[in-house]
Amino acid sequence: MVPLQGHRACLTSLCAFLAAALLLPLLAAADYVQTNITETPNFKLLPGIASVPAPVAVAPDQTWIGIDGAWNTFTLAIGEPQEYVQVYVSTASQQIWAINRMACISNITDPTTGEITAFNVFDSECELSRGYLFNSSNSETWEQKGFYQLWIEKYLGLVGNGLYGFDSVGLGRAGEMGPSVQNTTIGTLVTANFWLGHIGVHSKSTNFSVFDDPVPSYITTLFEQKSIPSLSFGYTAGAQYRDQTVLGSLTLGGYDASRLIPNDLTFIFAPDNERDLVVGIVGITANTTSEEDIDLMKTDDVTMYIDSTIAELYLPVEICQAFEDAFGLQYDEATDLYLVDDKLHQSLLAQNPSVTFTLGQKFSTDATLQITLPYAALDLEATPPYRGLKEKTRYFPIRRGGESRQWILGRTFLQEAYLTVDWERQNFTVSAVDWTFGKAPEILPIVSPTYAVAHSTPPRKKPLSSTAVIGIAVGGGFFVALLLCAIGWWFWHRRHKRKLEAIKAKYEAEAAAAAVTKMDPPVLEETPTSPVRSSTEGVVVFPKAELPGTSHVHHEMSSSAQEKGSLPVHEADGKEREIYEMPGDMPVLAEAGGRQLSEKESMVVRERIYNGVDPAGMPDAPPVTHDESRRLAPISPSEVAIVGGQLPTGNVSPVTPRLPRDEPGARAKRSEEGGYSSALPPWAKLNPSYALRLDTNPTIAITEAATRHRTTAFLHRHFVNRFPIASYFPKLKELALVTPRSYPAASAIMGDLANRKVFKVFNQEFIVDERYNVTKELGQGAYGIVCAATNNQTGEGVAIKKVTNVFSKKILAKRALREIKLLQHFRGKSRSHPSALPRLTSGRPPQRKIHLITCLYDMDIPRPDNFNECYLYEELMECDLAAIIRSGQPLTDAHFQSFIYQILCGLKYIHSANVLHRDLKPGNLLVNADCELKICDFGLARGFSMDPEENAGYMTEYVATRWYRAPEIMLSFQSYTKAIDVWSVGCILAELLGGKPFFKGRDYVDQLNQILHYLGTPNEETLSRIGSPRAQDYVRNLPYMQKISFQSLFRNANPDALDLLDRMLAFDPSSRISVEEALEHRYLQIWHDASDEPSCPTTFDFQFEVVEEIPEMKKMILDEVSRFRQMVRVQPGAGAGANQAPQVPIPNNYDRAGYEDPRPQEAFNQGGWNGSDLERDLQGLDGRMR
């Protein structure tokens, strides 16, 4: 209810009464009636405010559940119709979390045979264990937002993804319902890192992206709809171990005074809003039956964050070791827990230890507070699958925190502590729990500054004891007696004074009468100026001698008889002169701006997502300048192609910070003499039995089989034969075939899905054509998932990519539309390639047509009426070039020639269509075991024109991954051309030769320094074409640097390869070699065949780039998919099997997530470029240099 205004209280009260009478049936059905209060202890309502909403006491459940201990829960009613879930309370989160129904669906495997016996089995025990589930598909009011990282507890390694959306949330079950909130943020999750959901009581907003407005928190929405009096809460976790089980207590908008023991210590928020409820630890002591005051505080300056999201106490390692010594605890490395066996448990029960935390706030107050945890509060039981446990185990709930941001007081602490937080006044209190049994709840409000001001209520006086009463009576009687004595003395003194005055008056009268009888002497009329003699007494009277009263100063040293003048006397001015102080040296503090990131700044975030930060630090040759260390930036799953390896058992966060790609071990030398060498084609020399195996042995053998047939004799004459060395990768986790859902709700959810089947892939719905069966999970990201599938009729394999959240942002819709159009345009590109099968003879190997660009076989939109996802059926490849380089297996010069030649052939075809790829890097080059290479990922591609004015409209500077970005992009040249892709190919060649990225800049400026360090300072003509004047000055002011010879960097490389590298990595783009010239270079002479290097017959039409509205792009995507599906089904041989002879077998080692992952801070650039970001970086660098 809206607070009542004082001057309209009568009219408003009448209206409220009538409204209550009319709405009474509805309120009864809703089981909750909003009430207002007029009495607000400790707060004085502002003028005009007659009442405020009452605080809400959330009813706790009667159950205690959890896998990290038994904890009291609270019930939420989510969606319409309502689904009840049991959750914890999170003081760190601002959202509502619930467990998704998919978390309890799994496949049943026979432990003896390893075969799957049942698919999509729902586990009812899992549902009870996880506090019941929320199925968003059943809610009529659910509005889906997409998959995002859970974010909180990332410093503890507890990460995962959640499917976010908006829906209604009510507090409590029927009969004890609290207020409901419509359209609040809800995250549904399946990860085991958070076993139950929670109700977030933090007040901060949720930022999904810089393009969207912040979404208010759950508690903020309650306050804004006038359901609670303020942004505040009081909470204690409850204690099951007490003689009388005490349930938890949660009050929104106030606190329960009956559950706490008041104290005088108030804490102020820490400045970090992700760690704001921070308390200082003054001491930690323990007491046992045999020893007291055991000091466990083995380190100083410890501050801990109160966070009820987790159960344990995360303490510094030194303090954990003190616990080990005091109680005999043993640390288990496998689970990272302090497990307690039966023997240790009996010992601890005998010792009955208690641990006391002494809290304080440094520099604010000397007051302290003690919270004591008995051993019963620390005697917890963990159940599988917590921390990988196989059976129920007791454990001591302390965890090792390696750094200060990991030090946390969890729910274990809040069993014995009551936490009260006022988000608006930015303070909180921690109190010991009052365990007095049977006390009635005393719910007191915390009133918002919008409604009231805080004031101190005088404490109630206690009744006096009988002793005090007797003392007061005796003292009062004595005081009265003393007062009477004082009054009597006053009257006596007054009477005595009157007598004295009468006697004095009588004496004075007598003296006056005697004086009258005497003769008075004559009185002179004027004061005599000379002595005179009295006539009566003969007395000589002298007149008084006084100085003249003139205010003149006479000159004592005057030489004349008379004074010529006098000087007037002037007094000093009484006004004080104004005092001026020198200016101080204290600078004016600059406050942080509250603006959002610009588009350019958002693109900086993106390029950090793509690249990360080099964990190895600076290269061997140090750059010119040194930038300050920065926080490691996350990279997206699309930058990581797992060519092999066991999939993680838990969900992998799409924004988990990862380091840049590791450089594998030392690469094999090209030859023992330090020269270079190449191997014979395996089909010309090796035994026929040496065949590539992808079925039983999980390996990828990168062989020289890709060598062209016409180079056989040349290789026989000039190169030493060498067997290929296989690269071993762990086998990828198999995804067993999943049958379509058969439960009744499926048809209602999916609608019309004719000729399609539904699978469960990465716990998501995956709809494919009925001809295919999903066989393997390949990778996932926030914008899509990829799996392998086989054709039931032909046995051919394809990669199916499900692109999600296409229309959540304009830039994502544009990228999806662009990639679909480009894949269609380039799908006809093919050239001859020798067969991957080895042969004995040296004759011409069998030829087949291959595509140098990823081939698109089919597309599908299962629900065209209202879709937000698209399925792409693409060619299935085995790994990417980055994984091959990262694996460390020795590659010969023939490998390098094969890879670079195929890249250039594909690039020639792309450029001939007036398209710039703009993001060439090893991660975007897919490779099979026979060295067949394909170019993928056209999301950043742009059209190209020879007219610079046409390019300037949409040519952005933040293109290409930083390590492969041409200097003309970074320095804002007047325009850039096809040469930017040639630079990227040069960086790839250098990475092949050296086994690691060549220009590994840590940030924008450091990348430029790396390039200048190796290539030297450019000439003045080149510098004059730099668009940014400040960038020009920056480069000119650097010390002159000589170019470092590539021969000194790659001593064992082919000289022809170094010559091509030198021409590709020319600083001046006008001097850089073109694609056509590179194909004719002598390094690729044995591969070059102009007749087999075609150009695209038609140029690509980029007119769709002018479309900016999502509905229009959505229609264009639907039209493109429909037209393509019709084409591949009408034209003979246009489907998935048209270009496979036969298709490559399903690999065991390919993991590629094709789309970037979102987070609340993610953004992409959509505008033009002006060099402002470079200048900002350079200004920051100049500041550091000074």
Three-class SS of 1072-1105: CCCHHHHHCCHHHCCCCCHHHCCCCCCCCCCHHH
Judge whether 369 lies within some domain: yes
Q: What is the CATH number of the domain that holds 974?
A: 1.10.510.10
Fill in the DSSP letter of residue 107.
E
Residues contacting residue 280 through CB under 8 Å, at least 6 positions apart? 302, 303, 359, 360, 361, 362
So what's the pLDDT on residue 1156? 33
Residue that finishes a domain, picked among 456, 487, 509: 456
Residue that finishes a domain, picked among 426, 456, 486: 456
The count of structural domains within the chain is: 2
Residue showing tokens 């009988």: 466
Please, what are the averages of pLDDT over each run of 10 residues along the chain (1186 residues)? 42 45 42 87 92 96 95 96 96 96 89 82 93 95 91 89 95 89 95 95 90 91 96 97 92 97 94 91 95 92 95 96 96 95 95 96 84 97 94 97 94 98 96 93 96 70 71 87 90 84 80 63 49 48 47 44 45 47 45 52 61 51 43 45 40 34 38 40 36 34 38 36 34 38 34 78 88 87 83 88 84 84 72 36 36 80 86 87 86 91 92 88 87 84 63 45 83 75 94 91 83 89 78 80 91 93 92 93 91 86 83 89 84 49 33 34 36 46 36
Q: Look up residue 386 and give its two tokens.
A: 């917590």
Q: Look up residue 330 and give its two tokens.
A: 């043993």
Closest CA to 53 of 278, 223, 288: 223
Residues contacting residue 1032 through CB under 8 Å, at least 6 positions apart? 1023, 1024, 1026
> What are the phi and psi torsion angles at 766 (to 5°)?
-130, 110
Q: In sequence order, what E strands does 397-499 have?
A: 398-401, 408-409, 417-422, 427-433, 443-445, 452-454
Judge whether 439 lies within some domain: yes
Residues 288 and 375 sit within 8 Å (Cβ to Cβ) = no
Angle at 1011 between CA 1006 and CA 1013, to 5 degrees: 90
Please report, in angstroms and rounded to a whole number, the separation of the first and last CA atoms in the chain: 59
Judge whether 170 lies within some domain: no
* Residue 599, CA distances (Å) to 211, 596, 1007, 1161 in order: 10, 9, 21, 12
Judge whether 564 lies within some domain: no
862/754 Cα distance (integer angstroms) = 9
Judge whether 467 lies within some domain: no
What one-letter code names the amino acid at 483? L
856 DSSP β-pair partners? 874
Q: What is the CATH number of the domain that holds 434?
A: 2.40.70.10
So what's the pLDDT on residue 904? 94
* Residue 1129, CA distances (Å) to 57, 826, 1137 in order: 63, 18, 12
Range of the domain at 807: 638-666+730-1100+1109-1152
Q: In sequence order, what E strands does 237-287 have?
A: 249-252, 254-256, 260-261, 267-268, 278-287
Residues contacting residue 75 through CB under 8 Å, at least 6 positions apart? 59, 61, 84, 85, 86, 87, 171, 172, 173
Judge whether 149 lies within some domain: no
397/516 Cα distance (integer angstroms) = 113
So what's the pLDDT on residue 142? 96
Dihedral angle over CA of 1048, 1052, 1057, 1061, nearest 10: -30
So what's the pLDDT on residue 1032? 79
Helix crossing, 599-611 with 1172-1185: angle to 10°? 70
So what's the pLDDT on residue 231? 97
pTM of the model: 0.46
- Distance, C-alpha 982 to centroid of its chain: 36
Judge whether 697 lies within some domain: no
Residues 706 and 834 sit within 8 Å (Cβ to Cβ) = yes
Q: Look up residue 209 and give its two tokens.
A: 């992206």
989/897 Cα distance (integer angstroms) = 9
908 is in an annotated binding site: no
Residues 682 and 703 sit within 8 Å (Cβ to Cβ) = yes
Residues contacting residue 890 through CB under 8 Å, at least 6 positions apart? 667, 668, 725
Residue that finishes a domain, picked among 424, 456, 488: 456
So what's the pLDDT on residue 696? 34
For the chain, how many residues are written? 1186
Residues 729 and 705 sit within 8 Å (Cβ to Cβ) = no
3-state helix, strand, coil in the chain (%, to 5): 30, 20, 50
- Distance, C-alpha 441 to centroid of its chain: 39
Pairing mode, strands 302-306 and 532-533: unpaired
Judge whether 767 lies within some domain: yes
